[in-house]
Structure formats: C-alpha cells, structure tokens
Chains A and B, each alone.
Chain A
Amino acid sequence: QVQLQQSGPGLVKPSQTLSLTCVISGDSVSSNSAAWNWIRQSPSRGLEWLGRTYYRSTWYNDYAVSVKSRITFNSDTSKNQFSLHLNSVTPEDAAVYYCAKGVNPWELVVWGQGTLVTVSP
C-alpha cells in the first residue's frame, strides 16, 4: 500500500525558509492519476490545506491563497519524492506539517506521519 515518509528540520528561524520532503513508497510521484498535497495543523489555524502538485504530462501546482506568495513545491522523480518550501517564515507558520495523497484536496486518502515545525530564533 502507499506510504509517505516525511523528513525535514523541526526548528526554523524567523525569516528563513522551511523545507520538508515527503518520500513516496507504493506509488509514483509522477503518476498520472495521483496528486500530492501539503497540509498543516496548528491550534490557532486548525487544519489548513497549503497546496498540491501533480503530473499530467507536465507538472502542475495549486497553492492556497494564504501562502501563495511564499510557497513552492518541487518533485524529484529519481527519488520518488516531493518537497515543500515556505519562505519568510514567522511564528504563525509553526505547526505540524503533513504530506498527503489525494487527487481531490478535500479527500486525502494517505497521510505522512507529520512533522512538528517550530519557528524560533
């Protein structure tokens, strides 16, 4: 079955870039029938969808309006993984970050284990 394994630092300094990676097993990041999402969860903001990346002969990215100016995704087919980069972080970006599989972002069928990210000097 599909499994997602997240990695990345748990501590990021304010104004720096938060980068997380999600390694896929049991599926392909370049599958024409899948999409790969990032979501975060914090006590103040609840669950928040950040965006998705998917491949349909070319790569597409959709981003949530709340982070659109600061977020980028990229994918590495050789490592079968996808990554999140969120720049200019503030304490408001502190949260548990999840990667998840789901063509429809409101139906996320497989989730990573989550990464707690703290934003602090």
Chain B
Amino acid sequence: QSALTQPPSASGSPGQSVTISCTGTSSDVGGYNYVSWYQQYPGKAPKVIIYEVSKRPSGVPDRFSGSKSGNTASLTVSGLQAEDEADYYCSSYGGINNLAVFGGGTKLSVL
C-alpha cells in the first residue's frame, strides 16, 4: 500500500483538461513544498515533469501544471494529447525515516 493516495485511473478527450490528485498527510505532502510528479510509459523509467509542487523542468510542456492545497497535491494536464496517455505518480518528502514516498499511480487514458 502506497503512502500517498491517487485515483487508479483518469481519462479525458483530446483537447480537454484532466486533474489527478495526490493525498498525503501533514507529515509529507501537507508539510513541505516538496512534491514531484512523474510520467511513466510502459516498460520505461519514470520521468519527472513537475517538482517543488509547481515547477517544470526544461523541456516539459506548459500543458502540465501542479498545485497543492493542504494535504492534497494536484497535477493538471491541459489540452490533452494522445501522447499524454501514461501512468502518473506523485512523490513527496516523507520524513527523516523515509526520505521519499510515492503515490500508487494514476493511469491516464486519452479517449
């Protein structure tokens, strides 16, 4: 069982927006602005697309955005494209005994 809770699936049509949530506690997501989001294609390693809640690494389209409210972080994908179909994972600082914790992942389908 993963430390952070994500919905198992999400979907949207091309051009639409979809938001994926990531719920933790005040000891991880809620306590620090240390939330990242990863995109993973089947058989590939994860790739960071958001870090420090809302920052995008260079090369990541601005269609991807992140936010946080309380113990819940969110990833929004705007203007959905077929290539966005992938698994998305959130990660957060998890405290001194477990520096990083992950969500269980959300499979995003582009209908």
Contact = CB atoms under 8 A, between A and B. Distances in A.
A101 to B, nearest CB: 11
Contacts of A2: none
Interface stretch (A72-80, A83-91, A107-115): A107-115
Interface stretch (A12-20, A22-30, A42-50): A42-50
Interface residues of B, number: 26
Interface residues of A, number: 22
Which of B57, B99, B105 neighbours the largest number of chain A CB atoms within 10 Å of its CB?
B99
A63 to B, nearest CB: 9
A108 B57 contact: no
Contacts of B57: 109
Contacts of B35: 106
B64 interface: no
B45 A64 contact: no
B65 interface: no
Contacts of B45: 98, 100, 111-114
Interface string A48-88: 11001000000000101110000000000000000000000
